[in-house]
């Protein structure tokens, strides 16, 4: 399916279907109001009414703002793809909402059919976004950037959605190497011998029972004279069985998504390199598989991390933070960054705190939290801050090591996980670092907004927006 921006009035564009977005006020004055009301259409948000005989698809919106249009255009593309029409057209409502329209169409129309023996084929081939705005050049730039970011989000979704027998630490490293070639990035892969030389005892312990060797992936995008340097760190648990603290069977299903943080940072660096932003970006990924075996790490083990901090293991299913502890430490030595952001499907507790639609944000800098929240709002990704406090920090105390990998009480689990990571952020970097818990937002089994079943690509639009706005 091709989406095209054309500099014409919509009446001058030839397409089989016209798509219109209507608010309740619009509905009252519309020439088709009578027949729409007879069909039961009330112009409620995300409702649709397809008048096939008139070849018009009506979509309800609460307002003509970006968030409502993004969600409604995702519903529109689903309706169009379920029909036998080949082409459709809709008007660009404003410069400020063009990105949202594109994202709704591209992300809402996404399908992952790789494992279907007979995938359904849609007849839809072209969608025309029409405008007679005098500043077409500016609109064209916005359109092209929205396509890049949407495609990078779908690139992320594809990797997350791939089955665990296909994506393991080594094949994820190969995928990163291919991206480096395609997008002219620098790529370094540290295999297990290299990780041992780096004394990454926490990360190596998590992957010890897997037949697939663990790997640390480092991708770099380095434009000339960058105005900022950013380190992005992703949790890459290509599968998480829980280890010896084995997950329940129902909880183990969907655990291919535990690599979503790693996949998100791959999508981010892909988008940044294709947008040609004047920001130097480093993506660090801890690619590991947490499995069960005779040599699996155990509750009661004491691990020595790269930073020489000792960690008492109380639960082998709290493995992502162990991997990130070593990768964050390595990233701080490898790059003197202006900002360090880590993305991880870290805790089910974050979903309990914020629901499945909101990413948890944790760190020390109030200004950075504010800037990221604003970028999230502009990008259409919901994020909310969870506060650190000294009382919760006490729950990570270990009697036999420097820190425990789980809290002694089952409260505030998302925050205590973030505070565990904070232990591995050096003092000079405390205000440069933010942790994003995407456990709820990275994967969905019920469509919402512009997200379809499966991976959402959470974090890609948010971080790309932040990096475009950065000063």
Separation CA 270–CA 256 (nearest Å): 21
What letter does residue 451 receive in the DSSP assignment? B
What letter does residue 448 receive in the DSSP assignment? B
Whether 374 is a known active-site residue: answer no
Bridging pattern class, strands 339-344 and 359-363: unpaired
Class of residue 457 by CB neighbours under 10 A (exposed 0-12, middle 13-18, buried 19+): buried
Burial per residue of 343-377, b for 16 or more beta-carbon CB atoms within 10 angstroms, e otherwise: bbbbbebbbebbebbbbbbbbeeeebbebbbebbe
Residue 88, sorted as left (phi over 0), alpha (psi -120 to 50) or beta, turns out to be beta
Sign for the CA dihedral angle at 265, 269, 270, 275 comes to: positive
Separation CA 390–CA 392 (nearest Å): 5
Give the angle subtended at the CA of 349 by the CAs of 345 and 351, to the nearest 5°. Answer: 70
> Which residues lie below 8 Å from residue 263, measured CB to CB, with a gap of 6+?
156, 159, 160, 234, 236, 455, 457
Whether 321 is a known active-site residue: answer yes
Total residue length of the chain: 471
Separation CA 56–CA 49 (nearest Å): 8
Q: Which of 228, 247, 374, 393 is catalytic?
A: 247
Q: How far is CA 107 from the centre of its chain?
A: 12
Separation CA 254–CA 25 (nearest Å): 42
Supply the DSSP string of 208-231, one letter for each residue: TTSSSPPEEEEEEE--SS-SEEEE
- Structure token digits, residue 79: 């309706």
Dihedral (C-alpha) 242, 247, 252, 256: value to the nearest 10 degrees?
-10
Q: Which of 306, 321, 432, 461 is catalytic?
A: 321
- Positions annotated as catalytic residues are 247, 321
């Amino acid at each position: 399916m091709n989406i095209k921006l054309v500099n014409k009035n919509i009446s001058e564009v030839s397409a089989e279907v016209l798509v219109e977005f209507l608010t309740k006020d619009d509905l009252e004055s519309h020439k088709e109001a009578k027949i729409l009301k007879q069909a039961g259409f009330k112009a409620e948000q995300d409702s649709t009414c397809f008048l096939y005989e008139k070849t018009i698809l009506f979509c309800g919106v609460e307002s003509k703002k970006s968030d409502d249009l993004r969600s409604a255009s995702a519903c529109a593309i689903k309706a169009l793809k379920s029909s036998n029409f080949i082409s459709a057209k809709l008007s660009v409502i404003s410069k400020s909402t063009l990105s949202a329209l594109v994202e709704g169409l591209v992300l809402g129309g996404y399908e992952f059919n790789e494992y279907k023996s007979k995938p359904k084929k849609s007849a839809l081939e072209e969608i025309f976004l029409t405008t007679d705005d005098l500043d077409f050049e500016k609109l064209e730039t916005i359109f092209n950037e929205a396509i890049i970011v949407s495609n990078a989000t779908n690139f992320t979704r594809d990797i997350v959605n791939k089955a665990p027998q296909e994506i393991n630490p080594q094949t994820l490293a190969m995928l990163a190497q291919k991206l480096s070639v395609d997008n002219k990035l620098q790529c370094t892969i540290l295999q297990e011998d290299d990780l041992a030389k780096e004394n990454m005892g926490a990360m190596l312990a998590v992957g010890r029972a897997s037949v697939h060797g663990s790997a640390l992936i480092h991708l770099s995008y380095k434009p000339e004279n960058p105005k900022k340097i950013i380190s992005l760190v992703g949790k890459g648990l290509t599968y998480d069985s829980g280890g010896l603290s084995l997950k329940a069977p129902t909880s183990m299903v969907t655990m291919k998504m535990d690599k979503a943080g790693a996949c998100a940072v791959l999508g981010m660096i892909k988008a940044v390199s294709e947008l040609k932003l004047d920001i130097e970006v480093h993506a660090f990924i801890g690619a590991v598989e947490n499995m069960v075996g005779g040599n699996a790490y155990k509750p009661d083990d004491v691990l020595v991390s790269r930073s020489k901090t000792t960690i008492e293991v109380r639960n082998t299913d709290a493995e992502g933070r162990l991997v990130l502890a070593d990768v964050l430490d390595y990233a701080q030595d490898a790059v003197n960054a202006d900002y360090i952001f880590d993305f991880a499907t870290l805790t089910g507790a974050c979903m309990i705190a914020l629901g499945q639609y909101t990413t948890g944000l944790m760190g020390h800098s109030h200004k950075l939290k504010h800037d990221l929240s604003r970028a999230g709002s502009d990008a259409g990704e919901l994020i909310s801050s969870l506060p650190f406090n000294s009382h919760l920090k006490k729950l990570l105390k270990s009697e036999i090591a420097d820190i425990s990998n789980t809290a002694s009480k089952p409260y505030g689990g998302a925050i205590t996980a973030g505070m565990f990571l904070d232990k591995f952020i050096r003092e000079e970097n405390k205000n440069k670092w933010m942790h994003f818990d995407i456990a709820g937002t990275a994967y969905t089994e019920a469509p919402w907004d512009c997200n379809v079943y499966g991976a959402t690509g959470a974090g890609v639009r948010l971080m790309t927006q932040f990096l475009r706005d950065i000063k």
